[in-house]
Amino acid sequence: MFNNIPKDKLLHFFYGALISFGSVGLFDVHGLWFTVFIAAAKEIIYDWYLGKGNPEFNDFVITCLPALMFLIIKIQ
C-alpha cells in the first residue's frame, strides 16, 4: 500500500507530524498556523528562493495535513 506513495511525500508527512504534534499539543490552533508557516517557509525559501529543492504545493499540503488531523483529534 505505501509502496505507491513517493518517499518524498512520506517524508513530508512524517516531518509535518513531528512539527505539528508538539505545536498543536501546546498551542491548539496557533500550532496549526505554526506548522503552516514552517511548511510554507520550507517550500518558498529553501526550495524556491535558495534553489535547493523542488517547490511543490502538494508537499506543502502534505506537510500541513498532520497538524489538521491532530487539531481535529484534540478538539474531539
Predicted local distance difference test score (pLDDT) of residue 3? 82
Please list, in sequence order, all residues whose beta carbon lies within 8 angstroms of the beta carbon of residue 47, skipping any fewer than 6 positions away: 53, 54, 55, 56, 59
Give the model confidence (pLDDT) of 29-68 as tens digits: 999 999 999 999 999 999 999 999 999 999 999 999 999 9
Predicted local distance difference test score (pLDDT) of residue 75? 86
Tell me the C-alpha distance between 29 and 25, whole Å.
9
Asked if residue 67 lies in contact with residue 20, where contact means CB atoms within 8 angstroms, the answer is yes
Tell me the C-alpha distance between 22 and 2, whole Å.
25
Q: What pTM does this model have?
A: 0.90
Query: C-alpha 72: how far from its chain's center?
Result: 15
**Confidence band (pLDDT; 50, 70, 90) for 1?**
low
